[in-house]
Amino acid sequence: MKFPFQTVAIIGKQKSPEVAEPMLRVGDFLSARGLRVVVDGLAAEHLQDHSFTALSLDEIARTVDLAIVIGGDGTMLNIARTLAPHGVPLVGVNQGRLGFLTDLTAENMETEIGAMLEGKFITEERLLLRAAVLREGNEIFSGLAFNEVVVHRSNISSMVEFEVRIDGEYLYNQRADGLIISTPTGSTAYAMSAGGPILHPGLDVLQLVPVCPHSLSNRPIVVRAGSEIELLMHRTGDICVRYDSHTNIDLQLHDKIIVTRFGKPVFLLHPLGHSYYHTLREKLLWNQTL
């Protein structure tokens, strides 16, 4: 991570005109402080009368020292997978609902970002997953996931049947609606809805959470983050593997999915005083009395 920051990207939620006003505000704020500002080319379509350079996400990944993401957690998930391999740190401004990953607000963003530009921030590393699909021994697709990799059925009339191995050792055969392989970041997403535990993002672990397993003895399991998780499909139909709800790959009988930790982390920057437990209390309404 390069500091002090000199070139900053502003990235907004796509197809959302409401990001225009905060994007222009923070862009003007950064320019007034002498920084070079670039904007995401797709979100720039909503901006009027601006002088910022518009770049693609791939160009941004190779160019900037910092990215400010305005949107919700879904926007941050998408951007993180593109920018993390290049080591670009991310700051999130929440315009969504929960905001586990985007902890600034449009009202306080200038104050908090100004402090970050002076070095007043907390750096947090979050792990990414890489999942490869192998068919007849050949890799036909690979992609990254920030929250989770999910194997699931699309047709409600059939179950998924698959074998699971951890670091080459047989774990179990499973019949279920699917299986979630989640990072600690994703533990408050689909995995939580499926009954998995909430994991602190600083933990170096992954969790496997069955979705509606046929056997009541199947329970979520937590493994070390360096594990190689292998799924072998024994029964297919209308079944796919999904990466953070953004990418879907249809699966066939005997396809193999290999899930490993990606070699580079996501860098998230938070204001001083940021607390994960405060975020949980606020977002999950634990601070409300019955």
Question: Quick one: how far is CA 56 from the chain centroid?
Answer: 19
Q: Are strands 66-71 and 256-261 parallel, antiparallel or unpaired?
A: unpaired
Residues 6+ apart with CB under 8 A from 119: 3, 4
- Taking CA 87 as the corner, what is the angle to CA 30 and CA 166, rounded to the nearest 5 degrees? 145
Give CA separation, 56 vs 53, 62, 134, 164, 280, in Å.
10, 10, 30, 38, 34
Distance (Å, whole) CA 88 – CA 168? 34
54: phi then psi, degrees, rounded to nearest 5: -95, 130
Q: Are strands 239-243 and 148-153 parallel, antiparallel or unpaired?
A: antiparallel
Q: Which residue has the tokens 């949980």?
A: 280
Q: Where are the beta strands (DSSP E) in 127-281?
A: 129-135, 138-145, 148-153, 160-166, 169-176, 178-182, 205-211, 221-224, 229-235, 239-243, 247-250, 256-261, 266-271
Q: Which residues pair with 170 in a beta bridge?
A: 165
* Consecutive H or E run containing 30: helix 20-32
Residues involved in catalysis? 73
DSSP letter, residue 75: H
Q: How many CA atoms lie within 13 A of 207 on its CB side?
A: 27
